[in-house]
Amino acid sequence: MWRLNVGKGNENDPYIWSTNNYLGRQIWEFDPKAGTPEERAEVEEARQNFYKNRFKIHPDSDSDLLWQFQFQREKNFKQTIPQPKVEDGEEVTFEATSAAVRRSAQLFAALQSKDGHWPAINAGPMFFLPPLVFTMYITGTLNTVFPAEYRKEMLRYIYYHQNEDGGWGLYVGGHSMMFCTSLNYICMRMLGVEPDGGLDNAAERARKWIFDHGGITTSASWGKTWMAILGVYEWAGCHPMPPEFWLFPDWFPLHAGRCALSPYNTTTYALG
């Protein structure tokens, strides 16, 4: 079972280091022996509920639920304040509002980590994970840096945030776009998914979306660049990005730092 370790390091891990004794550092680690059968069943139920309701509610990830379960179990948290309920047309009273605030404060106090911060995830953009996988693949370290259980969770994240039409948006819940759909499709294949495989035929549906929307040649600049790096797209099809633009001052309209912030910022194309 997965556990979130806060403020801890691993002296034997060459990929994780800190200059402040790991203060505020959050690291997910897989422990095959962790958790009781009941706890594992609770986690699996949360994952299934997340997947079934993902098009109705758009939280960032089911991992948010997992660390909350973990913290509440570790602190033996029990909500002691009854949930106030206000029916339609009923007046919102001071007592009901105060109870709701106290109830929320009690929960958030239980979710605070031992070093004082509240865990969170930075997983909304759907173009963060694929380049990481690409880099590990290119350097031949994908299976070394990310063991099987880690690759499994990467695929779960991709599956859980695939849109109904088969594509992926720029961010969680965003409308499908070629940039992120093509990257996540390639990422799935690198993680071992067959052309027609994946949860609910994720790869097949993604490929259909790509074909139905003009193919990967319609991807934004960042997508084309990554595909060229991987050798599946010609460099001649990429917009040139001269490094000299980094030398322009911040106030200049074509300052490279600004255009680099958005994968489909029009300034990026102006550089070509």
Q: Do 183 and 91 fall within a single domain?
A: no
CB atoms within 10 A of CB 7: 18
Residue 205 and residue 153 in one domain? yes
pLDDT of residue 239: 85
pLDDT above 60 (res 267): no
Residue 121 lies in a domain: no
Asked whether residue 12 falls in the same domain as residue 102, the answer is: yes
Based on the domain organization, do 71 and 150 belong to the same domain?
no
Are residues 208 and 167 located together in one domain of the fold?
yes
Domain boundary among 57, 79, 111: 111
Same structural domain, 200 and 186: yes
DSSP state at residue 243: G
Helix (H, G, I), strand (E, B) or coil at 5: strand
The pair of structure tokens assigned to 193 is 């998914």
Mean pLDDT of 177-185: 97
Which residues in 111-132 are b (16+ Cβ under 10 Å) and which e?
eeeeeeeebeeebbebbebbee
What is the model's pLDDT at position 95?
93
Q: Is residue 189 part of a domain?
A: yes
pLDDT of residue 62: 57
Match 């849109």 to its residue by tokens: 163
pLDDT per position as a tens digit, 133-157: 999 999 999 999 999 999 999 999 9
**pLDDT tens by residue, 79-94:** 999 999 999 989 999 9
Looking at the predicted structure, is the pLDDT value of residue 69 above 50?
yes
Bridge partners for 5 per DSSP: 27
Q: Which residue has the tokens 């990929």?
A: 15
Residues 136 and 201 in one domain: yes
One domain, residues 231 and 258: no
Residues 15 and 105 both lie in one domain = yes
Task: Please give the pLDDT value at position 258.
Answer: 52
Record the tokens describing residue 260, joined without a space. 């680099």
- Kindly state whether residues 174 and 227 are assigned to the same domain: yes
Reduced to 3 states (helix: H, G, I; strand: E, B; else coil), residue 33 is coil
Domain for residue 34, yes or no?
Answer: yes
Q: Is the pLDDT of residue 106 over 60?
A: yes
Q: Is residue 117 part of a domain?
A: no
Percent of the chain exceeding pLDDT 70 equals 91
* Phi and psi angles of residue 73, each rounded to the nearest 5 degrees, phi first: -70, -45
- The count of structural domains within the chain is 3
* 158 & 216 share domain: yes
Residue 50 structural domain? 2-111
Model pLDDT, residue 196: 93
Domain CATH for 145: 1.50.10.20
Each residue's pLDDT tens digit, 19-60: 888 888 888 889 888 889 999 999 999 899 989 988 887 665
Domain assignment present for 116: no
Q: What is the pLDDT of residue 264?
A: 41
pLDDT computed for residue 248 by the predictor = 79
Which two tokens mark 167? Answer: 């594509």
pLDDT score, position 223: 94
253, part of any domain? yes
Residue 98 belongs to what H/E stretch? helix 94-110
Residue 87 maps to a domain: yes
Q: Which residue has the higher pLDDT, 4 or 244?
A: 4
Q: Same domain, yes or no, for 67 and 168? A: no
Domain finish residue from 111, 142, 168: 111
Residue written as token pair 């047309």: 89
State the pLDDT at residue 114: 86
Angle (CA) 39 42 44, round 5°:
110
Distance CA 86, CA 80 (A): 19
CB 29 within 8 A of CB 12: no
* Spatial CA neighbour of 64 closest among 4, 115, 10, 16: 4
268 pLDDT higher than 50: no
Residues 6+ apart with CB under 8 A from 206: 162, 166, 167, 168, 181, 184, 185, 188, 198
Q: Is residue 272 predicted with pLDDT exceeding 70?
A: no
For 182-241, write each residue's pLDDT tens digit. Answer: 999 999 999 999 999 999 999 999 999 999 999 999 999 989 999 999 999 999 999 887
CA dihedral angle for residue 83, residue 87, residue 93, residue 98, rounded to 10 degrees: 20
Running DSSP on this structure, what letter comes out for residue 267? H
- Residue 172 forms part of a structural domain: yes
Averaged pLDDT of the chain: 87
